[in-house]
């Protein structure tokens, strides 16, 4: 469910005044994650690595209240749920956007992930949950290694967005540089830093999930 809220009644009011009409309100952080636990879990349990990472992203975000508020146009909208977006290559070799509702239960999330990514790939259609959920965008550029990426500021799509490339192996560990872009009205640097710390923690604890 989504509902418009009065900025004055939120902790983001000062940020709203400062950043809603700023020429470039988007901020990008870069971080290298240790994804060794994800790679091992993916191989051992025959689960898709991208799905595991998306689940960790949803879990890390769900613990930070700022993720549930998003600037939409000139409004602030509050959501009750979070979804994670993934880009799917369809049967025609093009791509579609697929939103997956975040569930704390990994296997329920995996079931939804497999069902709807297959649907988008087969039907060449997007799946959009943004009317009812705060969607975290992701994009995996797995054809090459990248150090990070800076997304666009369209003024329309203000959702947080995470981009990564191919992971890297160093000795017996696996590392993944990511970029995390967010709208400054939605959160401050401290919130973004906490999210990235949460994400690393969730990745390392994936076996306990």
Distance CA 196, CA 178 (A): 10
Contact criterion met (CB below 8 Å) for 196 and 180: yes
Contact criterion met (CB below 8 Å) for 98 and 115: no
- Domains annotated for the chain, with CATH where assigned, are 25-208 (3.30.559.10)
What is the pLDDT at residue 106? 96
What is the pLDDT at residue 207? 66
* DSSP annotation of 163: E
Using DSSP, state whether 114 is helix, strand or coil.
helix
Per-residue pLDDT reduced to its tens digit, 150-205: 877 776 789 999 999 999 999 999 999 999 999 999 999 999 999 999 999 999 99
What is the pLDDT at residue 91? 95
Q: Would you mind telling me the total number of residues written for the chain in this entry?
A: 209
Distance CA 126, CA 120 (A): 6
Q: What is the mean pLDDT of residues 127-146?
A: 93
Pick 123 or 153 by higher pLDDT.
123
What is the pLDDT at residue 209? 43
The DSSP bridge pattern shows strands 75-79 and 69-72 to be: antiparallel
Q: What is the mean pLDDT of residues 37-49?
A: 96
Range of weakest confidence among 52-61, 96-105, 145-154:
145-154
């Amino acid at each position: 469910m989504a509902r418009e809220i009065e900025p004055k009644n939120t902790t983001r009011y000062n940020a709203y005044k400062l950043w809603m009409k700023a020429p470039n309100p988007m901020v990008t952080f870069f971080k290298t994650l240790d994804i060794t636990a994800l790679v091992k879990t993916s191989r051992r349990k025959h689960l898709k690595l991208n799905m595991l990472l998306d689940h960790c992203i949803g879990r890390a975000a769900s613990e930070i209240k700022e993720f549930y508020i998003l600037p939409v146009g000139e409004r602030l909208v509050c959501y009750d749920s979070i979804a994670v977006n993934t880009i799917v290559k369809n049967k025609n070799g093009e791509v579609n956007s697929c939103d997956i509702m975040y569930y704390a239960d990994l296997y329920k999330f995996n079931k939804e992930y497999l069902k709807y990514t297959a649907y988008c790939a087969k039907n060449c259609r997007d799946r959009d949950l943004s009317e009812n959920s705060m969607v975290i965008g992701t994009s995996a550029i797995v054809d090459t290694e990248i150090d990070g990426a800076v997304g666009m500021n369209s003024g329309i799509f203000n959702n947080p967005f995470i981009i990564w490339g191919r992971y890297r192996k160093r000795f017996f560990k696996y590392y993944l540089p990511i970029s995390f872009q967010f709208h400054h009205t939605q959160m401050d640097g401290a919130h973004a830093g906490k999210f990235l710390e949460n994400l690393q923690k969730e990745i390392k604890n994936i076996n306990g999930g």
